Chains A and B, each alone.
Chain A
Amino acid sequence: MIHYTRQIVFWSVLALSAVARAQTPPAAAPPPAATPAPAAPPDALPATPGAPEPGALPAPTAPAPTASDTARLDDIEQTARIALRKHELLEEEAAKRAKEAPKLTVDDKGFSMGLPDKSYVLKIRGLLQTDGRFFFDDQTLQANNTFLIRRFRPTLEGTLFSLVDFKMTPEFASSSVQILDAYIDVHPWEWLRVRAGKMKGPVGLERLQSDADLPLLERALDQNLSSQRDIGVQLWGDVAGGIVHYVAGVFNGNPDTTSNDTDINYAKDLAGRLFIRPFRAEGLRGFGNLGVGISAQTGNRKGRLPTSSAAAQTGLAAYKTAGQNTFFQYLAPTSDTTGALTTFTHERATRLDPQLYYYYGPFGVLAEYVWLKQGVQKGNTTTDLTQQSAHATASFSLGGTEDYDGSTPEHPFDLAARHLGALQFAVQVSWLGLDDATFPTYANPVASARSAKAIAGGVGWVLRRSFRVGLMYEQTWFEGGAGTAATSTMPAVITNRPTEYLLQGRAQVNF
């Protein structure tokens, strides 16, 4: 608009200037020449048609402008220049304002609006996973074959005055709506940030990876030894350009695999993580993304005895396979109204989790080992149990790159451009072993397995970062966990829980 206005002004001023020149009164005629006109030079052009005949009176020459004419023209020229400059400044101002105006961005990362300097940003994001879960060779499990909504999580996140980030993610996929993430993150410096609210705790490298970015559709067995979410306050930050990442916090200490919103005892857990990414150093970025670290968590825990109106809260969780079937749980008979036959968490629970990943181009490896020393109590009996788990995942992307934050196609799906995205292949082995002392005092050996091993393989078609479909096959073997319970005359007969064969498919939208 301004551009056209400028053109109009420019042409108007030119026209004005021309009119002014046309209206300039002729100056007084010069006095007649006192001497005869010089003869035309030999190479003078021939007389043109219509030109005065030789000897005729010369045509009057254009009068020279007077001083007032010149001043007037100068004024007009100045006016034109001023008008143009004003419009130039207006254009500059408009361009600057356009740069400063809030921007709406829509891409594979979601919907975002904010100021260009990102001091205020609001993002709307979402994760939807629709699954088909099927079991083979086990009629009991086959009864659970189902299509399901695995995750349905809209997310609202943003930044306020460059200093405060927030994130709110509810989960609609479970039977009741849950708050998954709800935290405020104050970040005065890169190296020191404070996050308060409900979040993923520091333990579990794979746990900390976004659900949407997992190479396989489900997490490995060691996810059973860390809480899904916890509530507390943590200091965290990146030092030396992100080479060193640390977390140190105080949390409620949610039981493994859970995402409770309140604590059931007064004691709190201390948790931390130190993670080194040496290839973030200048000059080493070409070597890929290597991360090595350790997480730890410790705290006293205590369960709650059952009451006439509420069941026992043991502070202990059941362990599940990728197919979400429980293969281990501590004793908690529903008929136990006093709590004497129920296993509760007791005093200290401590976790250690050495971890590493390495991503280089289309390749990725992630591995960790989780060690849990869990104090337990049943009646008057107490002990410390050591539960352990580990896993390793390798992934490869055909037509893309692998990283901790997922697989990225080199050419996102675009039919017109004949781009099909990337194919991601992944294999995973995982294991979880329970302390021998767990059985039979604290868990029933004919109902709970003492170990599980799983191997999984999967392929995903990553059309874009925002959309993928995947298929996973996982086979899980168990030691113990089935058989015949002891009777007054017969000892228990312990057999292995049937192997679980899982085929799972998924369509995922993540923006």
Chain B
Amino acid sequence: MARARANRWMKLALAAAILLCGAGTARAQVKLLNVSYDPTRELYQDVNKAFAAQWKQKTGQSVDINQSHGGSGKQARSIIDGLEADVATLALAYDIDAIAQNSGRIKSDWLKRLPNNSAPYTSTVVFVVRKGNPRGIRDWADLVKPGTSVVTPNPKTSGGARWNYLAAWAWADKQFGGDQAKVKDYIRTLYKNVPVLDSGARGSTITFAQRGIGQVLIAWENEAHYLVEEMGKNKFEIITPSISILAEPSVAVVDRNVDKHGTRAAAEAYLNFLYTPEGQELAAKHYYRPRDVAVAKRHESKFAKVSLVTIDGAFGGWQKAQKAHFADGGTFDQIYQPGS
């Protein structure tokens, strides 16, 4: 009788302990979705691992971070349409602005919430050519030579493609002394040499490297290094043009979603982690130019010196650039006809 009673108490105590553990476990789980642009897969795989370890140590909470990648413009559209992203790490500020303006899911002050206009690392645009550079491509002028086949994604869907386009524009603008007709003509000829417009930067890399199309790929600097190191050692070369553009991929917490998921603290910490020396080291490892001066100094040799124009300086900011070049009826629509 006494034994039966003891057993009952033990069972009750066990159930209570399980309940408490369970409640603790429930608190100890957080899930984040990072919706990013095309070539950041490898960077964020490393960042996620490092951040999860740091967050666990700090808070005792396990964080499970999922990634989604695609053309930056397409990813922004997905978030506007309801993709439950906790953070957006996109190719350009304009795409995050678009989310803020068209869905209200991100507060309009997002740009000023984090240092460096919420761009924790930068990059630029370079060329990748096949080993030996059989076409002798050295600068933007070489891309419009007859018979040169250029691979770059579609600026309508890809953030990287917009940086590519604007870098080419900036070079032509300087080359032709600001003669807009000549600049436009140059861009028209350049895109006539583009046989396939992929929707994102990674797609273009596949087109160029795996499908063997084209003689030159216009790519993010980090994507170019990724290609050379991971996809085709001794098959490709990186060419740095005389002028390129300072690309500032931006990051933001998707306010409405994190409040809905109860993940704001983890999401904000995740983005802040990108600015820490550890986060900056990971950026440099994957050939993103770090903002942190000390880290940048350590990795100076990895990045070619190139004259960089800025989006604000050369184009008056993203809003203006988008309207003039990529909006419906903009310059890109004027110079590019599919199939032409």
Contact = CB atoms under 8 A, between A and B. Distances in A.
Interface of A: 78, 81-82, 84-86, 88-89, 93, 117, 119, 161-162, 188-191, 240-241, 243, 278-284, 287
B22 A117 contact: no
A117 B85 CA distance: 13
B247 to A, nearest CB: 24
B281 to A, nearest CB: 33
B82 interface: yes
A240 B26 contact: yes
B25 A243 contact: no
B19 A117 contact: no
A99 to B, nearest CB: 12
Contacts of B28: 282
Nearest to B339: A86
Interface in B259-309: 259-262
B19 A284 contact: yes
Given A78-B149, A84-B211, A190 B25 contact: no
- Closest 8 CB pairs between A and B? A281-B22, A284-B22, A281-B26, A282-B25, A189-B260, A82-B195, A119-B82, A162-B82
22 contacts: A85-B207, A93-B199, A119-B81, A188-B256, A188-B260, A189-B262, A190-B261, A191-B262, A240-B23, A240-B26, A240-B27, A243-B23, A279-B22, A281-B26, A282-B22, A282-B26, A283-B18, A283-B21, A283-B22, A283-B25, A284-B25, A287-B18
B18 A89 contact: no
B111 interface: no
Contacts of A161: 82
Contacts of A188: 256, 260
A277 to B, nearest CB: 11
Given A162-B82, A190-B260, A287-B18, A86 B23 contact: no
Given A78-B149, A162-B82, A278 B260 contact: no
A85 B196 contact: yes
B23 A278 contact: yes
Contacts of A243: 23, 26
A157 B264 CA distance: 32
B83 interface: yes
A90 to B, nearest CB: 11
A89 B260 contact: no
B29 A189 contact: no
Contacts of A287: 18
A241 B81 CA distance: 25
Given A78-B213, A93-B199, 14 more contacts: A78-B149, A81-B213, A84-B211, A85-B196, A85-B211, A86-B196, A89-B196, A189-B259, A243-B23, A281-B22, A282-B26, A282-B28, A283-B18, A284-B21
A279 B19 CA distance: 7
A272 to B, nearest CB: 22
B211 A282 contact: no
A376 to B, nearest CB: 43
A78 B196 CA distance: 11
A119 to B, nearest CB: 5
A241 B23 CA distance: 10
Contact of B198 (A89, A278, A282): A89
Interface string B241-270: 000000000000000100111100000000
B146 interface: no
Nearest to A284: B22
Contact of B213 (A85, A241, A280, A283): A85
A281 B27 CA distance: 9
Specify which of A119, A189, A243, A279 lies most central, judged by the most chain B CB atoms within 10 Å of its CB: A189
A82 B196 contact: yes
A287 B14 CA distance: 12
B212 interface: yes
Contacts of B83: 117
B204 to A, nearest CB: 10
Contacts of B81: 117, 119
Contacts of B207: 85
Contact of B211 (A81, A117, A191, A280): A81
Interface string B300-333: 0000000000000000000000000000000000
Nearest to A287: B18
